[in-house]
């Protein structure tokens, strides 16, 4: 059995641009707090610059440009092409629970489409938190312009919302990466997010609904 195409170049690029700029935003966001001097991380060889508030804020802005561009591109690209396969379907919550139990050897995995039910849920949750972190981030950029003034209470509310949504983003990122790296059944997907292909045998076994559609 051969390989089957899962993603084209554009989707792979989208994922890695969001991932790299997202990781950059996490790192520089923690630098803006500022955490690196307080916890002696800036003492590590080569990391002295992380205690410079000006540098980490500028880097946070640069990563934000790439991040926002890719997120907006993703939304419009798939909307225009009417590709909605990552949005949850009826009954996904129950199927996601079964899927997670099955990955620990309890019960059998329900038949899946191109994406597993828990992946579709992860997508929506990521979407919601990205909406909050990005919109509060953009308002914070506005506030940093010298001719834009916010009420002090609005400003501290924005800061709080950005820090909380940033924290949830970090949590989702950790769970996402653990889910991919620790659950052995997901390793073929890790290969696919780099090469765009999966083995036919894997697709037939784990994503039978998608496999049948591709073959018909
Ligand atoms: C901030 C960083 C990242 C974000 C926002 C992100 C977001 C996403 C989203 C929204 C999906 C769609 C499916 C799903 O919800 O699971 C996805 C898929 C995936 N991601 Fe990430 N990701 C990030 C970093 C990473 C990293 C570092 C890895 C590798 C360790 C990774 C590996 C994967 C894999 C293997 C898939 C599944 C592809 C498939 O179903 O074929 N991601 N990611
Ligand atoms: C997606 C992941 C992101 C994370 C984890 C994150 C995290 C943080 C954290 C922890 C801070 C410091 C605390 C605070 O001032 O509230 C911060 C500051 C900031 N963030 Fe983000 N952020 C993210 C995305 C963004 C985006 C997309 C934008 C812009 C569109 C943005 C704009 C800003 C600005 C302007 C500041 C204040 C810098 C200053 O101190 O003047 N952030 N971010």
Q: Could you give the number of structural domains in the chain?
A: 1
Dihedrals phi, psi of 7, to nearest 5 degrees: -135, 150
pLDDT mean values, one per 10 residues, the chain (216 residues): 92 98 98 93 95 96 98 98 94 87 84 92 96 98 93 96 98 96 92 96 94 90
Determine how β-strand 197-199 pairs with β-strand 3-5.
antiparallel
Full domain range(s) for residue 55:
3-215
Residue 47: how many CA atoms within 13 Å on its side-chain side?
13
In this prediction the pTM is 0.93
Question: In this predicted structure, what is the pLDDT of residue 141?
Answer: 96
Pocket test of ligand 2: the residue of 20, 21, 26, 29 to mutate, having most ligand atoms within 8 Å of its CB, is 29
Question: In this predicted structure, what is the pLDDT of residue 4?
Answer: 95
Question: In this predicted structure, what is the pLDDT of residue 109?
Answer: 84
Pocket test of ligand 1: the residue of 30, 186, 193 to mutate, having most ligand atoms within 8 Å of its CB, is 193
Q: How many CB atoms lie within 10 A of CB 21?
A: 20
CATH number (domain holding residue 131): 1.20.950.20
Any residues with Cβ below 6 Å from ligand 1, and which? Answer: 6, 15, 18-19, 22-23, 86, 115, 119, 122-123, 126, 173, 176-177, 180-181, 189-190, 192-193
Please give the Cα distance from 141 to 146 (Å, whole number). 10
């Amino acid at each position: 059995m051969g390989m089957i195409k899962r993603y084209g170049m554009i989707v792979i690029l989208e994922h890695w641009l969001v991932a790299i700029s997202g990781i950059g935003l996490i790192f520089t966001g923690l630098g803006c707090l500022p955490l690196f001097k307080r916890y002696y991380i800036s003492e590590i060889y080569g990391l002295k610059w992380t205690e410079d508030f000006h540098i980490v804020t500028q880097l946070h802005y640069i990563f934000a440009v790439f991040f926002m561009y890719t997120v907006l591109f993703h939304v419009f690209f798939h909307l225009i092409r009417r590709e909605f396969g990552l949005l949850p379907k009826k009954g996904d919550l129950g199927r996601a629970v079964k899927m997670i139990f099955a990955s620990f050897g309890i019960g059998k995995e329900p038949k899946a489409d191109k994406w597993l039910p828990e992946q579709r849920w992860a997508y929506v949750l990521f979407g919601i938190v990205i909406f909050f972190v990005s919109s509060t981030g953009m308002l914070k950029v506005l506030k940093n312009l010298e001719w834009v003034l916010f009420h002090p209470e609005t400003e501290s509310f924005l800061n709080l919302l950005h820090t909380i949504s940033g924290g949830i983003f970090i949590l989702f990122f950790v769970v996402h990466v653990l889910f991919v790296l620790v659950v052995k059944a997901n390793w073929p997907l890790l290969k696919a997010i780099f090469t765009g292909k999966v083995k036919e045998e894997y697709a037939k076994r784990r994503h039978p609904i998608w496999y049948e559609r591709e073959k018909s």
